A and B are shown apart, each in its own frame.
Chain A
C-alpha cells in the first residue's frame, strides 16, 4: 500500500521518465529532419496549453468507453505493486501534456539544436568530417531538458491536485482535497506543506542541475 507522498513521487517519476523518452525522440526527429528552426521568440507564446480539467476527463472517458480500459486508480488494498505502478502512468501522461512539458521540450530542443549547431566547435566537427549532431548531442539534450523542466515545474505541481482528483490517485493532491472537504485544517496544512517541500526539493535539484550545466557550458564558450 502506497503512502500519499509515495504516490505523488511515483507519478512525478513517471513524468520524468516520459520527459526523458520524449527528449530523446524529439532530438532524434530533429537530427533526421535537419530542418531550419522556424520558431522565433514570438512563437514562444503561441499554442494552446490545455488545462488538466479538459484533458484528464477526456482521456478517462475515451479509454473507458472506446478501449474498455479503466484508468481510475485501483483500490489499494486489492492491488499489487505492479498494478499501482502501472496505474500511475495515465495521470503522469496527462500531467506531462497539461503542464506544457511536452511542448516546452520540443520548443527548447529545437532552439538549442539550432543554436549549438552554429557554434564553432560544431562547425569544426563538420570540417573534420564528423557528424554535427553527434557533436552537439550531449549539450542540446542536457540544456534543453533542464531548461524545459525548470520552466514547467510549477505547472507540474500545480496541475497535480486536479489530475489526482480526476484519476482518484491517492497522492498528496487528493489527500489535500479530502482534508479540505473534511475541514481538517491541520491535516490540510501538513499535506500542502509536504507538497511545497517536495516542490522546493525539485526546484533545488533543478537549480543544482542548471548551475552544473552552467559550469560545463563555460568550457564550450
Chain B
C-alpha cells in the first residue's frame, strides 16, 4: 500500500475507534457498579473488555475516562488556543498605539516565561501547589500555557510573513494589520499549520492529564481517568494480570493519537481547500476595494 494511503487508513481507524469508545452510552448497556465477585474477569458478553480490580466494567470505565476527563480537557485547550489567537490578533492590530504596545509586550514576556518551562513540570507544580484534586487545576494550568503558546505562535508567524510581497502591497494600499493577519494568515496560509499545532496540543494535553492522574494530582477515584486506572492496577501488572493495563494503555495511545489523525484527515479531505477558496474570494474583493479606494483618493488629489 502506498505510504500516504497507509497513513490515511491508520488515521481513519484511529478516529473511528476513539469515536466508538466515546460516543455510545456504554453505561446503559453494561454495569459499572462495584462487583467483587467478578474482579478481573475476562472478556465476555456481559463485560466486552473484562472487569477491573473492583469488578467494574472496563469498557464503561474507559468510556467514562474519555468523556469525563479527556473531552473537557480538549474543549478547554481549543478555547485556550482560540483565546491566544484572538489576543495575538488584537495585539498585532493595535501595535501602532503606544499603550497597547506596552501592554502586549508585557503580556508577550509573560507568555514567553510561561511557555519556556516544560509543560508537564509547570502543570505538575501548579496542581501540587493548589492541592486541588480533580480536573480543574489541570485545565487551568493547561489553559494558561496553551493561551501563551498560541499567542506566541501567531506572533511568530506574523513576523515571518511581514516581508511577503502581498503583505507589503496590502500595507501600501492602506490595509490594516489586523485585516492582514486574519485574511492572509489565520484564514488562509497559516490554517494547516495552526490546525496541526492544535492537534499536537490536544495530544499533549491527554498525555499530561494522564500523567498527573497517575501521580495522584489529577482526577481521583471513583471518577475515571486513564492515569488513575493505570495507577490503581500497578501492583497487579507485576503479578501477571496485565489485561487492564493493555486495554487502558491501548485506549490512552489511541486517544492521544486521535486529534492529530483527525486534523490530518480534515486537511486531506479537501474541505479546508473549499473554505480557503471561499475566503480567498472574499479577500480578493477586499483587496479590489482597497485598490479602488486608493484610485479614488489619487484622482481626487
Q: Quick one: which of A51, A54, A157 contacts B121, CB cutoff 8 A?
A: A157
Nearest CB of chain A from residue B60's CB, rounded to whole Å: 21
- Bound CA span A131–B287, Å: 53
Q: How far is the CB of A202 from chain B (nearest CB, A)?
A: 11
Interface centre among B118, B237, B242 (most CB of A within 10 A): B118
Docked-complex contact A161 and B215, CB < 8 angstroms: yes
Bound-state Cα–Cα, A151 to B3, Å: 25
Q: Is the CB of A159 within 8 A of B196?
A: no
A192 on interface, CB distance cutoff 8 Å: yes
Docked Cα-Cα span, A52 to B207, in Å, equals 8
Residues of A within 8 A of B234 (CB): 57
What is the minimal beta-carbon distance from B268 to any residue of chain A, in angstroms? 10
Number of CB contacts from chain A to chain B under 8 A: 99
Assess the A45–B257 pair: CB atoms within 8 A: no
- Pair A50/B253 contact, Cβ less than 8 Å: yes
1/0 contact string of B118-139 vs chain A (CB within 8 Å): 1111001100110100000000
Which residue of B has the minimal Cβ distance to A44? B196
Contact A54 B3 (CB under 8 A): no
In the complex, whether B210 has a CB less than 8 A from a CB of chain A is yes
Q: Is the CB of B230 within 8 A of A57?
A: yes
> Which A179-221 residues have C-beta < 8 A from chain B?
180-181, 183, 185, 188, 192, 195-196, 199, 203
Q: Is A158 within 8 A of B119, CB to CB? A: yes
CA distance A162 to B207 in the complex (A): 11
In whole angstroms, how far apart are the Cα atoms of A55 and B249 in the complex? 9
Report Cα–Cα, A48/B256, bound state, in Å. 8
Q: Is the beta-carbon distance between B211 and A45 smaller than 8 angstroms?
A: no
A25 CA to B119 CA in the complex, in Å? 31
**How many residues on the A side are at the interface (Cβ–Cβ under 8 A)?**
36
Q: Give Cα A158 to B142, complex, Å.
A: 14
Select which of B200, B252, B264 is within 8 A of A54 by beta carbon: B252
- Which residues of chain A in 138-190 are interfacial with respect to chain B, using CB atoms and an 8 Å cutoff? 154-155, 157-159, 161-162, 165, 176-177, 180-181, 183, 185, 188
Task: Output the nearest chain B residue to A188 by Cβ-Cβ distance.
Answer: B128
Measured between beta carbons, the chain A residues less than 8 angstroms from B119 are 154, 158
Q: Name the contact of A180 in the complex, choosing from B124, B237, B264 (C-beta under 8 A).
A: B124
Q: Is A46 an interface residue (CB 8 A)?
A: yes
Q: Which of A46, A49, A52, A176 touches B124 (beta carbons < 8 Å)?
A: A176
Enumerate chain A residues within 8 angstroms of B131, measured Cβ to Cβ. Answer: 183
Q: Is the CB of B118 within 8 A of A155?
A: yes
Contact residues in A for B260 (Cβ distance below 8 Å): 45
Cα distance, A38 to B2, chains bound together (Å) = 12
Known: A162-B211, A162-B214. Is A157-B118 also a contact (CB below 8 A)?
A: yes
- What residue in chain B is nearest A184 (Cβ atoms)? B128
**Bound-state Cα–Cα, A53 to B230, Å:** 9
Asked if B84 is at the interface (CB within 8 A of a chain A CB), the reply is no
**Beta-carbon contact of B257 and A159 below 8 Å:** no
Interface assignment of A32: CB less than 8 Å from any CB of chain B: no
Decide if A158 touches B215 in the complex (CB within 8 Å): no
A61 touching B242, Cβ below 8 Å: yes
Question: Which single member of B118, B124, B129, B227 contacts A154 (CB below 8 Å)?
Answer: B118
A188, B256: Cα distance in complex, Å: 29
Is B185 part of the binding interface, using a Cβ–Cβ cutoff of 8 Å?
Answer: no
A188 to B126, CA, bound (A): 11
Q: Is the CB of B118 within 8 A of A45?
A: no
Cross-chain contact A161 with B196 (CB below 8 angstroms) = no
Whether B117 is near chain A, meaning CB under 8 Å from some CB there, is: yes
**Inter-chain contact A57/B207, CB cutoff 8 Å:** no
Is there an interface contact between A57 and B120, defined as CB atoms closer than 8 Å? no
Give Cα A164–Cα B206 distance, bound, in whole angstroms.
19
Contact B125 A188 (CB under 8 A): yes
B108 beta carbon closer than 8 Å to chain A:
no
Q: List 24 A-B contacts (CB under 8 A).
A: A51-B206, A51-B207, A52-B207, A53-B230, A57-B230, A57-B237, A57-B245, A61-B238, A61-B242, A61-B245, A65-B240, A154-B119, A157-B118, A157-B120, A165-B214, A176-B125, A180-B128, A180-B215, A188-B125, A188-B129, A192-B124, A195-B121, A199-B117, A199-B118
Q: What are the 7 closest A-B residue pairs judged by CB atoms, nearest first? A: A180-B128, A158-B120, A51-B207, A158-B118, A154-B118, A157-B118, A48-B257
Q: A157-B120, A176-B124 are in contact. List 20 more A-B contacts (CB 8 A).
A: A38-B3, A45-B260, A50-B256, A51-B206, A51-B256, A53-B252, A54-B249, A54-B253, A57-B249, A58-B245, A61-B245, A154-B118, A158-B118, A161-B121, A162-B215, A176-B128, A188-B129, A192-B125, A196-B121, A199-B118
